[in-house]
Amino acid sequence: MKKGFAILIVLLFVCPNLSQFGVSRVEAKELSNGIIKYTITVNNRSRELVIDAEIPLYQDSVHLGVRWLPPGAAIELKSYEGCRISQDWVVEKIKNVCKIRYIVHYDLYEIIKNYHKNPGVAEGFAAIGLEHVLIYYPDLLDETAEITFLLPKGWELYTPIKPETNNKITAKLREFLRMNVVAGKVTYKYSMTSNGRIYTYVLFEKPHRIIHNKLLEQVPLITRDVLLDEDARESLNEVIFYTQRLEDLFRYPSPERFTITGLAHITPNWMGFWHFDQNVRQDHIAHHIVHTWISILGIQTYSRDPRRSLGFGEGFPMYYSFTLAYEYTKERRYLGHHYLYYLLYMRGGRDRLKRWSPEDKYIEQVRTYLYEYVMAVYLERQLNKVGKTLADAYAEALSRYQYTTISLDEFLDIVEEIGANVDRNAIYSFDLDVYDYERKNYFDDFEDTVKFFVLNHEMPPAMFYAFIDIEANKGNPEYTPYLSLPYVENFFVSQAFKDFVSKLRIRKKCF
């Protein structure tokens, strides 16, 4: 997500990984013997979920599991009926339906805050990734499932599809595994309707303790308190604009409900309950709206070699967010970000990827936020040569696949089918050259990007270029140029800059 510190959570998000089942995609099966049922009871005192599941059994033996479990969460089996369940969740059939009660220990304060996912139950709200908590086996993916939520008194539920009066939602299991839901004690709510879709800006009761991200040590964005009604209207207007624009680009409808909140920790903003400063957030919102479509069709190759685990989980949101933000604001500094990311790639990002050092704690972010973006630029250029666009290729992929993940090579097959030439060897060797495309289209806009940085930080342009070099070689390119003053002081001056200069002395022998 650009960026890990997002203003919103769009309630339909994630790129699936069925690697635990040994498959990349499960084809539809005609199984209609029963409906999968889950009842999820949210316990905000113990900060856990009690789940009663009714699982149809179509084989004598199946292996149950969740899609993935965040570090710090745990699943505890409590009881079962109509089946036998071993310690490793292998189920032996006795009856056609196995009734299972299990607990998901889902404490917001205990779950390790990974780069994107920050779920959990707190005293006043819960942010639940359904992929974390629903047990299933692959043959059930195209079956209908019902989920009923039992919430603490006074809580409200927000989901991407309209719930029934008893907080029950119904969809294919495959769709549920792409959804997040939030619930809690609402302190503020503002809604708008556009084109038959409901957009809601909601704030929940704050957690009693501040939640820190244990991976990221950078504080990249300026934040401020806002007038809520004004901020809510502006945020929802932006979301509506980006949603309708992306529907046109990708030729695929958006969910019927959007919930925007700064408190849901599945995709957190800074400390979980702040809002972006008005002048830096437009591309962040656009970025996360793009993720809505990425959740419907993910593009990702999963490999034991992390260098080959390439896809577009962040590349598409990065690529489209800058142009969408420009279309909404008419400020060309957003287009300048395209050239900025070219600089980050050429001034150090590409070399870091080729080295792929395990000591580089931000290498995964360089691969996802920077290189996936570069891949998107490259494919756009190749498709433009034959009168097509990257959006055309993704729309074609969406017409064939929904609520699943295809590999990068499968997507490249589609790109080639519609006429573009693709150098796969250059892609997988981190050797793409995008200079001509970026310079021709966005070099002039980069001047506005630099001016914005200079005005906000009262620093000369030379300092911005120094930051670009340091961020390209040592830091997390995702956050350039949104560098707050504490970030500049703590990361660059105290850490990266000193180290950078010391190495420069050794290399150049001129200090």
Report the b/e string of 247-276 with b at 16+ CB within 10 A: bebbebebbebbbbbbbbbbbbbbbbbbbb
**Which residue stretches of 210-314 are H helix?**
228-250, 282-296
pLDDT digits (tens, 9 = 90+) for 161-192: 889 889 999 999 999 998 889 899 998 899 99
Count of H-run helices and E-run strands, the chain:
16, 20
Q: For the ranges 59-73, 95-109, 135-149, 274-288, which has the lowest average pLDDT?
A: 274-288
Specify the CATH number for 300-454; select among 3.30.43, 1.10.10, 1.10.390, 1.10.3470. 1.10.390
Residue whose pair of structure tokens reads 């769009």 in the numeric block: 10
| pLDDT tier for residue 276 given thresholds of 50, 70 and 90 | very low
Residue 510 has pLDDT above 90, yes or no: no
- Please tell me which residue, 64 or 269, carries the higher pLDDT value: 64
| Tokens 């870091």 found at | 352
Q: Check: CB of residue 75 under 8 Å from CB of residue 60.
A: no
Work out the percent of the chain whose per-residue pLDDT is above 90.
54
Report pLDDT for 491. 59
pLDDT the model gives residue 260: 80
Q: How far apart are the C-alpha atoms of 473 and 55, rounded to whole Å?
A: 50
Residue 209 is predicted with a pLDDT of 73
pTM metric for this prediction: 0.82
218-244: average pLDDT: 72
Query: Is 441:336 a contact under the CB 8 Å cutoff?
Result: no
Both structure tokens of 218: 């950078």
Whether the per-residue pLDDT at 476 is higher than 90: the answer is: no
SS3 197: strand
pLDDT of residue 488: 60
Q: Under CATH, to which class is 19-250 assigned?
A: mainly beta
If pLDDT is split at 50, 70 and 90, which confidence band does 506 have?
low
- Stretch 191-199: mean pLDDT: 92
Phi, psi of 229 (to 5 degrees): -60, -45
302-330 per-position pLDDT tens digit: 999 999 999 999 999 999 999 999 999 99
Domain ranges of the chain: 19-250, 300-454
What is the arithmetic mean of pLDDT over 365-371? 94
pLDDT of 28 = 35
Q: What is the pLDDT of residue 34?
A: 76
Asked whether 14 and 96 are in contact (CB, 8 A), the reply is no
SS3 62: strand
pLDDT-wise least confident of 25-29, 138-142, 203-207, 211-215? 25-29
What does the longest C-alpha to C-alpha distance in the chain come to? 79
Is the per-residue pLDDT at 373 higher than 70? Answer: yes
Of 341-350, 467-476, 481-490, which range is least confident? 481-490
Lowest-confidence range among 34-48, 411-425, 430-444? Answer: 430-444
- Residue 252, sorted as left (phi over 0), alpha (psi -120 to 50) or beta, turns out to be beta
User: 189: which strand partners?
Assistant: 202
What is the per-residue pLDDT across 283-307, written as a single tens digit (0 to 9) for each?
A: 888 888 898 898 899 999 999 999 9
Which of 24-38, 263-277, 316-330, 351-365 is the least confident region?
263-277
The 10s digit of each residue's pLDDT in 100-127 is: 999 999 998 888 765 445 688 989 989 8
Q: Indicate if the alpha-carbon torsion angle 361, 363, 368, 369 is positive or negative.
A: positive
Place of tokens 């990974």: 114
The predicted pLDDT at position 95 comes to 96
15 pLDDT above the threshold of 80? no
